Amino acid sequence: MSFKAAAVQMCSGVDPARNVETMAKLVREAAAQGATYIQTPEMTGAIQRDRAGLRSVLKDEANDIVVCEASALAGELGVYLHIGSTPIALSDGKIANRGFLFGPDGVKICDYDKIHMFDVDLENGESWRESAAYRPGTTARVADLAFGKLGFSICYDVRFPELFRQQAVAGAEIMSVPAAFTKQTGEAHWEILLRARAIENGLFVIAAAQAGKHEDGRETFGHSMIVDPWGSVLAEAGPAREGVIIADIDTAAVHGARAKIPNLKNARSFVLDEVTPTGKGGVAA
């Protein structure tokens, strides 16, 4: 199945209404270029370091401005619109980092909550504790769509290859990696990780990213990317704050790559044996 895919690059701020205006403009631009699957980045609706400030602008899913606008846009334009993620208020006071996929009729097909929380301390002094505010997801998901089988991940999930492998084994032909990678980690690992996940699973990777200096002071890497199953970069944005990249996707390439390197079929179970030295040159049996 062949189709045009788009990744939308944004620099979301603290005001969901302004972010929705930017999202709608870029989604329309992608649709005008012929894209029938359009993906926006992680935290499309709001990027706000201050957790109290973020909570003050959040709504539940039924009343969220991004969700409502995305549903309307997908139906109006007749496209699959994938909100990479947006923050959603939960009844327990926590936040969901939740992605949404809407069909060409505007109806929600499914959602996905980011599983792996970005709890890290970087060398430049940046410290992140997503788990302090966000409730992690527990369910991976593969959607069987008209153009192919789409798997879901969000940002930090890309560092957990087992998530991608299980979805590939379940039939995923395209993996989504909407993200808000920091500038430091993006410069070091973004392209390598995306290409690795594509190569080792023989699938397309579509990764819409946040880019530039945000209102809350953070800086994200940008470089939204679409990668084919052989690891070739089909389209890449630069560090500019906003834009759209487009690539032609043919899922026949997935089956071709997996036929050449059938590692999904060749995988074997094994036992891990931890060996402990017992003395000079000897090890425990």
Determine which one of 4, 114, 149, 183 is catalytic. Answer: 114
Identify the bridge partners of residue 116 per DSSP, sorted by sequence position.
none
**Residue 149 designated active-site:** no
For 221, half-sphere exposure in the C-beta direction (CA atoms, 13 angstrom radius) is: 21
**Residue 130 designated active-site:** no
Separation between Cα atoms, residue 161 and residue 198, nearest integer Å:
10
Can you tell me which residue has the tokens 């059938």?
Answer: 262
C-alpha torsion sign, points 136, 109, 48, 31: positive
Determine which one of 11, 42, 69, 173 is catalytic. Answer: 42
**Residue 94 designated active-site:** no
Determine which one of 4, 130, 155, 173 is catalytic. Answer: 155
Question: How far does the chain reach from its first CA to its final CA, in angstroms?
Answer: 53
3-state secondary structure of 229: coil
Report yes or no: 156 and 189 within 8 Å, Cβ to Cβ.
Answer: no
The distance of Cα 175 from the centroid of its chain, to the nearest Å, equals 8
Separation between Cα atoms, residue 107 and residue 131, nearest integer Å:
30
Separation between Cα atoms, residue 146 and residue 8, nearest integer Å:
21
Catalytic residue numbers read: 42, 114, 155
